[in-house]
Structure formats: C-alpha cells, structure tokens
Structure 1
C-alpha cells in the first residue's frame, strides 16, 4: 500500500485514533445510584493520536496519522474529523473495531475515562513497507501506547528518526508502558499515579535512550528532566485564558506544544512553557469539540507568559 503525501513529514503519529462518549456527571467520584439525570450525552472523535496530530497540524507542522480503524460508525467519525481538519490520515482496516472510551466529566473539568480494551487491533500490525515509506525523511515520530504501536517500536529503531511517546497514567512499573519508554527520545507521562515522580523519571533516563522526560501534574504544572542537565525541575501551570470546561485532551495538547517547540529548536524549558499554554487552552474547550490552539495564538501567549 502506497500513501500519497507531499514531501517529508515533520511528525508521523502512530496509533491513538478513536472515539469518546462524553457524559457530564454531577460529581467525581460518582456515588452509586440507580440512575442520574445528565445533560446531552455526546459521541465524538478524538483520542490521543488524533489530538496530537490535530494539535501539531494547527501549529503548522506537516503531520500524518497512521492507525487501524473499524468499518463502523465510530471509524466514520474519526475519518470525518481528519477530513474536516485537512490533516493527513491513513486508516488501515481492523476487524477489532474502532477504539472507544466513555469519559465521565465532573463540574470542575476533571475526567474519568473508561477505555474499551476489546477494540483497537491488538493483533494488527502496521505494514513494514508503509511505515518505512511514511518515516522516510520524517523529522520525528510520536508513538501512542495503543495497539498496534508496540509492534512498530523495533522497526522504528532501525529507521534513525527521533521518537516520542506518552505513557499517560503509567504507574512506573507496568512493563507494557516501559517498552515505549525504552524506545523513545522524549517521554511524556502524567504524575497522577506516581508516588515519586522524580524517581520514575530518573528510571526512564536509566533505560538508556531518552534525553528528555516530562511529567505533567495538572494545575500544579509538572516536572522536567533532561539528560544534559541531570536535575528534575518544576515548571508552572498556565492560567487558562477562559473558564475551564474540562481536561479532555489537555495532556495531548501539552505534548503537541512541547514537540512544536522542540522541532523549532527551542530549549526544554521553553518547550514546557509552550506545552503548558497549549494544555491550558485545551481545558477551555468542551469535550465535545476538538479545537487546538493555533501557531499565532501559541506564540503570542508564549511571548507574554
């Protein structure tokens, strides 16, 4: 299979295409009850790979998302999302169906995601020739931890491109996530499930490849560790420019902002600042929408931060 694309890519994103069903709930955690009246329940496209791709696309980078999708209504929503945005997307058919999740969103914007592990092509593979074609001349590859991303790690090692990944709420021990950390130059993760974020971040550097590790920590900002500096330092959160709607996609927006800065030759601290600005913007966008910050707005806020 050959894919039409116009010249080398800035970023190839592997995996992470899917659909969320959004349910606004009166509180989190949600106490047991037989039923709750809730506002309109909405299903929309936009999982981590979609969000990172669209975020980078909005920032002016040449992107391409490669993943598996089912021939189902959910898959049609994902295809339409990328068609409307103008971002390049190659969807390979999978019998497992399109990846899905149900997101419960509280009044303060916090989210609880229920991920359907029965979908998403656990036994699928990206064709080696297609992956090599898309990665040829590509500046960077971002690998999502959903299947079939894990099967691409070994092949990427031989292609000579830099790699990033997002481990999301990794506990610091799960070996499935650790294989991504060991194969990436830049590793993002959430501090949510970590008793000692600094120790986990140093452990990622200890795996040998990563030169930068970032642990986001919501309204508390986050942690940054680079191999060059050797010390974990905190970075501040950014006050959202409008009222917070919910946190869906905030971590993906952070990754897009950070990678934009990295590929623009900026230092890690400035990259973290750009990521925080993009993440704050995402918190002001309703979960039913995908509306990433654009390049002009990001850079304008970056100069006044």
Structure 2
C-alpha cells in the first residue's frame, strides 16, 4: 500500500518546536546577574512530536501535522521527525517555529518556559488535515490554539480523539474545550494538586470523555473511567532502568505507551502500566531521545503487571 493511501493508527496534530536545555545545579535558580552552567543544548521535540516519535518507535503507523516556520528551528524539527520515520506535513507559519527554554536540575527535574509566538488567527487548512483524518484510527490533539478548530470535523467523522492538558489547574479557559471535547484526556496532577480527583470527575461529568488519566511523576498515575467506579485506580510508577538524566518528555512517552496499549485492545490498567514503563525509560537520556520499542516495552510491562 502506498504511503499516500496508507491507514494511520495514530494522527498527531500540533505541538512541535525546539527546546533549549540549560542544566543547573538546583531549582529554583538563585537570582544573580550571571550563572555558570554546563553546555547549553538544543533538542527538537515538544509534546506532539514526542508523542508521534514515541508511538512510531513502538511500531504504530503514525502521521504528524503542525504549523512551523521556514527557519532553522523548523529544519531541526523536520530532521528529527524524519530520523524517527514519522510522516510529517507542515503548514508554514509566518510566526516561525515554536521554542522553549527548559531549566533542568541534577535530579532531572525541570522548569519550562514556552513562547507564545503563534498568532491568534493561525489556522490549518482543511485540505491539509481532512484527507489524513479520514485515514486515521485515532487522533491526538496537542493543546495548541489552532487545533481546537478541528474538533467539529473530527466529531463528524466519528474518530476517537485524545488530548494532554499537562498541568491544567481546572481554571484556565484555554484548556477547557480540549478537556470537554476529547474522548480520552491526559493531565498532570501537578496542576490541580489535591483537587486532581475532583477535576477528573468533573471532566467525565461535563464532557464527552470516557477515560481520564492523571500522571503524578514518581507517585505513578491514576485512571478514572465512566464505568470503573468513582475512585481513580492507582498504577505505580516504574523504576527507570538507568539513572534519571532528564524528565523532559516523560509524560509524552507515557501517552505514547498508553495509546499503544489502547490501540492494541488492552485494558485501561494495562495501558497505564505500559505508559509507566515508557515514561520511565524516557527519563534515561536527554532531549526526549530515549524511545522505547515494543520489544522493550512488552516484557517490562508484563514484569510490572506481575509485581
């Protein structure tokens, strides 16, 4: 079957750019005019690209769409996706390719500064995304401004859609439409803190989601579904197979592992275990470059299930 007429297991839309990684001794960084740090590095990635690359490394048929610039950073993105064998189609944005600066401490913890360069009127033409939507089993939308305008077409085609709200506190308006119009919602417990369970219930109650997953770093993750009772199921974190170098992209890797399991017909808790293994593996190399394969994921997932 030609690539032009291929069916995709996963279509990821939005959320790529280049991270500038600055390694510091500790967070927060003390206020000073100058701080000496180690080598400053650039890593193409961001949430959508990381999910696409992770899912492709696991053997899924993946396509990725985004708006990027015709610039040096955009070229880095293209090279990274091509190296990961991800089919990528870009709409050129005059605002350029998104960037972020990530401060990473010695324990791999991070603080990220994302730019907001996309103009409010940025849109992806329907003739770019509709042909791929029609060939996709599942769509994952990053919470980039232009992707919210794809929901009507996704719903009309009856395609399941997921999103990652990251550290949403339940209040910021930008995230709400994504939360309420997606079938599967991921979020980080860091944003809502002790209110995470209440926020998960609210998403199920007010939106169309069947399942909400909250990741909590070393505390593992929590899975709540419409037919699984009122209390989230806890899935322990997986111990990384090597020292933690960088937590950038761990949540995206979790999403990739979870979607891999879901698209393979696994149960929700098994999907969460696979996500935990993929997320832990991602922490063992810089710049979201530690991509686990299905051959590595499956034995570790079975071992975790047995434990």
- Coarse TM-score class (shorter-chain normalised): over 0.9
Aligned to 1:99: 98
Q: Contact 1:95/1:121 (CA < 8 Å) preserved in 2?
A: no
Q: Contact 1:69/1:120 (CA < 8 Å) preserved in 2?
A: no
Q: Give the one of 169, 172, 194 matched to 2:170.
A: 172
Aligned to 1:245: 245
- CA distance, structure 1, for counterparts of residue 296 and residue 119 of structure 2: 37
- CA distance, structure 2, for counterparts of residue 85 and residue 243 of structure 1: 24
Q: Contact 1:64/1:89 (CA < 8 Å) preserved in 2?
A: yes
Aligned to 2:259: 259
Q: Contact 1:97/1:121 (CA < 8 Å) preserved in 2?
A: no
Q: Contact 1:245/1:285 (CA < 8 Å) preserved in 2?
A: yes
Q: Contact 1:25/1:104 (CA < 8 Å) preserved in 2?
A: yes
Query: What is the CA-CA distance between 1:6 and the residue it aligns to?
Result: 4.2
Query: What is the CA-CA distance between 1:211 and the residue it aligns to?
Result: 0.5
- CA distance, structure 1, for counterparts of residue 49 and residue 270 of structure 2: 24
- CA distance, structure 1, for counterparts of residue 118 and residue 290 of structure 2: 24
TM-score between both structures, scaled by the size of structure 2: 0.95
Q: Contact 1:132/1:159 (CA < 8 Å) preserved in 2?
A: no
- CA distance, structure 2, for counterparts of residue 41 and residue 220 of structure 1: 30
Structure 1 residue ranges without an equivalent (≥5): none
Q: Give the one of 186, 202, 206 matched to 1:188.
A: 186
Q: Give the one of 102, 121, 125 matched to 2:123.
A: 125
Q: Contact 2:18/2:46 (CA < 8 Å) preserved in 1?
A: yes
Query: What is the CA-CA distance between 1:154 and the residue it aligns to?
Result: 2.3
- CA distance, structure 1, for counterparts of residue 171 and residue 204 of structure 2: 14
Aligned to 1:151: 149
When structure 1 is superposed on structure 2, of 124-133 and 27-36 the one drifting more is: 124-133
Task: Please identify which structure carries the higher helix content.
Answer: 2
After TM superposition, the structure 1 = structure 2 runs for residues 264-279 of structure 1, keeping only pairs within 5 Å, are: 264-279=264-279
- CA distance, structure 1, for counterparts of residue 156 and residue 138 of structure 2: 14
What is the Cα-based RMSD across aligned positions, in Å? 1.3
Q: Secondary structure at the match of 2:136?
A: coil
- CA distance, structure 1, for counterparts of residue 16 and residue 274 of structure 2: 24
Divergent runs of 4+, >6 A: none
After TM superposition, the structure 1 = structure 2 runs for residues 8-157 of structure 1, keeping only pairs within 5 Å, are: 8-117=7-116, 119-157=117-155
- CA distance, structure 1, for counterparts of residue 224 and residue 85 of structure 2: 35
- CA distance, structure 2, for counterparts of residue 206 and residue 140 of structure 1: 23
